[in-house]
Amino acid sequence: MSIENDDRADAGATDGEITRKKMLKMTAMAAPVPLLLAAGIGVSAAQEGSADDGLLPATPECHDGDQPTVAQTEGPYFTPGSPERSELVEPGMAGTRLRVIGFVYNRNCTPVANALMDWWQADNGGNYDNRGYRLRGHFYTDNAGKFTLSTIVPGLYPGRTRHLHVKVQAPNRPILTTQLYFPGEPGNGRDTIYDPRLLMRMSNAGGGRVGTYDFVLNFTGAPPTTTPPSGGRFENTGNVPIPDNGTAVTSPVTVTGQPGNAPAALRVNVDVRHTYRGDVVLDLVAPSGVAHRLKNTDATDSAADVITTYTVNASAERANGIWRLRASDVSRRDTGHIEAWSLQF
């Protein structure tokens, strides 16, 4: 959202008066602007579309006491346990590149840091990946409440206009489930779920598209202070083959410089490539030798790959030492390997 657009939204302010919203956004955007311009992405995004859409102003301008962002149906295609990532585009993926940027506020217009955002969408052909995590991912807003999602423009499928799905949750607050829409789409007027209050502002940049939207969550007062783990990240990107119906293998990560015990919400990011993930059993083995089960076998799960983030209560374990991801294949014919994994303290 541009400062110019904020000026119009804050038309009730007297000349020379800077509103709370404007000051917050000017401060938050001050550092990223040169980076965005260098990448060919304009911070100012003009709204597209026409009056034929019956459009209200797109991104809801935040003022103290504003109504929260409208909730919408989750739909049938949500899959829990998406990997932690803000870049959803994979090598060779078809489609027009799309960057979605914005802020998460509460109803006092206070930026919400460390808000969880879980995104999913259709691919360029209008299809959802319901067996894996293609075009699915979650991440957290930064300390200024800002977020950036890198993806593609979703394709169309019967009965729906073009849209993105998202869940937004401030720490220790209820989840907002909603959808975002694109202005000027012919299907907007025919889609019974579509709501013009959920329109993004759109612009063109660097051969792709940029959408802006600010979310307003339904609470007031000081934002919660609980944050996701902020300690170090420790990773192993070595390829470890998993024998077919054979002995378990391990991949080590050495943790150093972390005081005391591990957190009660230790994040274990796993990337295991396997042709039948139901065969795979995964454990996190602490330096003490205690195994924490991450994934059990499931003979009915025929999808490929385990690319997700697990949360483990490891508060009884010392943080420093050698941690291991242990993987085994418990059935015949399908094979795979540990691609990479990491611990976030």
Which candidate, 277, 262, 72, places its Cα nearest to that of 167?
Answer: 72
Query: Stretch 315-343: mean pLDDT, rounded?
Result: 91
Q: Give the DSSP letter of residue 111.
A: B
Judged against a pLDDT cut of 80, whether residue 66 lies above it is answered with no
Using 50, 70 and 90 to split pLDDT, how confident is the model at 335? confident
Judged against a pLDDT cut of 50, whether residue 81 lies above it is answered with yes
| Location of structure tokens 């969550």 | 217
Phi and psi torsions of 104, nearest 5°:
-115, 125
Which candidate, 266, 263, 264, 273, places its Cα nearest to that of 309?
Answer: 266
The count of residues in the chain is: 345
Quickly count helices (H) and strands (E) in the chain.
3, 18
Asked if the 233-344 domain carries CATH number 3.30.43.10, the reply is no
| Identity at 125, one-letter amino acid code | G
The full set of domain ranges for the chain reads 3-217, 233-344
CATH of 3-217, one of 3.40.600.10, 1.20.1530.20, 3.40.50.300, 2.60.130.10: 2.60.130.10
Q: Give the DSSP letter of residue 224.
A: P
Give the strand pairing for 97-106 and 208-212: parallel
Give the separation between CA 227 and CA 213, rounded to whole angstroms: 23
| Identity at 331, one-letter amino acid code | S
Give the model's pLDDT for residue 83. Answer: 84
- Look at phi and psi of residue 40 and say left if phi exceeds 0, alpha if psi is from -120 to 50, else beta: left
Q: Give the DSSP letter of residue 198.
A: G
Residue 205 and residue 101 in contact, taking contact as beta carbons nearer than 8 Å: no
Minimum mean pLDDT range among 90-94, 178-182, 192-196: 90-94
Using 50, 70 and 90 to split pLDDT, how confident is the model at 64? low
Using 50, 70 and 90 to split pLDDT, how confident is the model at 25? low
187, burial (CB in 10 Å: exposed 0-12, middle 13-18, buried 19+): middle
Torsion angle in degrees (nearest 10) through CA of 150, 156, 157, 162:
70
pLDDT digits (tens, 9 = 90+) for 116-158: 999 999 999 999 999 889 999 999 999 899 999 999 999 999 9
Residue 69 and residue 166 in contact, taking contact as beta carbons nearer than 8 Å: no
Minimum mean pLDDT range among 47-61, 112-126, 221-235: 47-61
Minimum mean pLDDT range among 6-15, 133-142, 312-321, 327-336: 6-15
Residue 291 and residue 326 in contact, taking contact as beta carbons nearer than 8 Å: yes
Percent of the chain past pLDDT 90, that is, above it, reads 50
Which candidate, 193, 196, 225, places its Cα nearest to that of 213?
Answer: 196
Element (H, E) at 209: strand 208-212
pTM: predicted TM-score of the whole model, two decimal places: 0.56
| Location of structure tokens 């914005």 | 102
Give the separation between CA 148 and CA 86, rounded to whole angstroms: 7
Retrieve residue 42's tokens: 């304009």
Higher pLDDT, 18 or 66: 66
Give the strand pairing for 201-205 and 97-106: unpaired
List CB contacts of 25: < 8 A, sequence separation 6 or more: 1, 3, 6, 103
Give the separation between CA 113 and CA 58, rounded to whole angstroms: 23
Give the model's pLDDT for residue 174. Answer: 87
Judged against a pLDDT cut of 60, whether residue 54 lies above it is answered with no
3-state class (DSSP) for residue 38: helix
Residue 86 and residue 139 in contact, taking contact as beta carbons nearer than 8 Å: yes
Retrieve residue 134's tokens: 């293609």
Judged against a pLDDT cut of 90, whether residue 28 lies above it is answered with no
pLDDT digits (tens, 9 = 90+) for 245-269: 888 999 998 888 888 899 888 999 9
pLDDT digits (tens, 9 = 90+) for 267-282: 999 999 999 988 999 9
